[in-house]
Amino acid sequence: MIAKIINGIKIAKKIQKKLKKKILLRKKNKLIIPGLAVVLIGNDPSSKIYVKNKKIACNKIGIISKIYHLNDQITEKKIIKKIKKLNQNKKIHGILVQLPLPKKINTLNILKKISYKKDVDGFHPLNTGLLCQRKPNLRACTPLGIITLLRKYKIRLKGMHALVIGASNIVGRPMMLEFLLEGCTTTITHRFTKNIYKYIKNADLIVIAIGKAKFLKGEWIKKGAIIIDVGINKLKNGKIVGDVDFDSIYKKASYITPVPGGVGPMTVISLLKNTIFACEKYYDKNS
């Protein structure tokens, strides 16, 4: 079996076109233009690139965006003050604090200060809780992007055994909740899981987000499984690869996402969607 490649770039471009039209229509109808604030703390090189890409994506469809770059010595109190100001800012409808934060900062303390109405990352405890209670509101971008990709490829999720490898707050945990919502039987493994292969060989669908280059091997998976790779790992030779050993998985899976060009573009598109959603739901005049 040779896997079909899930083309995240193509799907993201299609959605991008739709969102651009939506913003143009809002302008024509004299509705407010959605605004996104991205807060970057410190100088992590990957975070800097992600933040820049988010700004470029906003520009492309007409969302107004502003990056607030704070230095890594800043106190929690000062960050919270900035967030409170952004919560009050009428031109801003989405706030994203790029993660990870410097070690001395308590991430949850910061995330819960973002108004749940502007929480375009879906990391506020209220939005996480709503997803947990089957009432999704603003949803974490990478899991949402993955669900969108699977829908676009008409993959029927109900009843599937979905395995999430990696239990991070950003990807693994919200992904598990998204699969439950879709009617999957859901398993999540993490660094303390014993005999991970037992779960891998039984899974119809695997999402992996652990940051280990080429970890998942073709010989471990069920024939025809769907494999979604969230990893972005830089090899010594500079090449970017995922958490999946593409060459061996490709011959046994039914679908596979490439790295780059699979999940990545969908994460950014979900952020744009969430910003428009927040603007429409909470800030349009008759909302």
Residues with catalytic annotation? 54, 98, 121
For ligand GUN, the binding residues (CB under 6 A) are 96-99, 121, 141-142, 170, 267
Tell which residue, 12, 277, 250, has the closest CA to residue 122. Answer: 277
Contacts of 160 (CB under 8 A, 6+ apart): 184, 185, 204, 205
In angstroms, the CA 114 to CA 105 distance is 15
Which residues have C-beta within 8 Å of that of residue 214, sequence separation ≥ 6?
233, 241, 242, 243, 244, 245, 246
158 Rama class: left (phi>0) / alpha (psi -120 to 50) / beta: beta
The gap from C-alpha 63 to its chain's centroid, in whole angstroms, comes to 18
Please give the residue whose beta carbon sits closest to ligand GUN in the complex: 99
* Contacts of residue 76, Cβ cutoff 8 Å, sequence gap at least 6: 105, 106, 109, 110
Residue 267 or 275: which CB sits closer to ligand GUN? 267
CB of 126 to ligand GUN, least distance (A): 16
3-state secondary structure 67-127: EEEECCCCCHHHHHHHHHHHHHCCCCCEEEECCCCCCCCCHHHHHCCCCHHHECCCCCHHH
Separation of alpha carbons 53 and 172, rounded Å: 23
- As given in the structure block, the two tokens for residue 204 are 């119809």
**Least distance from ligand GUN to the Cβ atom of residue 142, Å:** 5
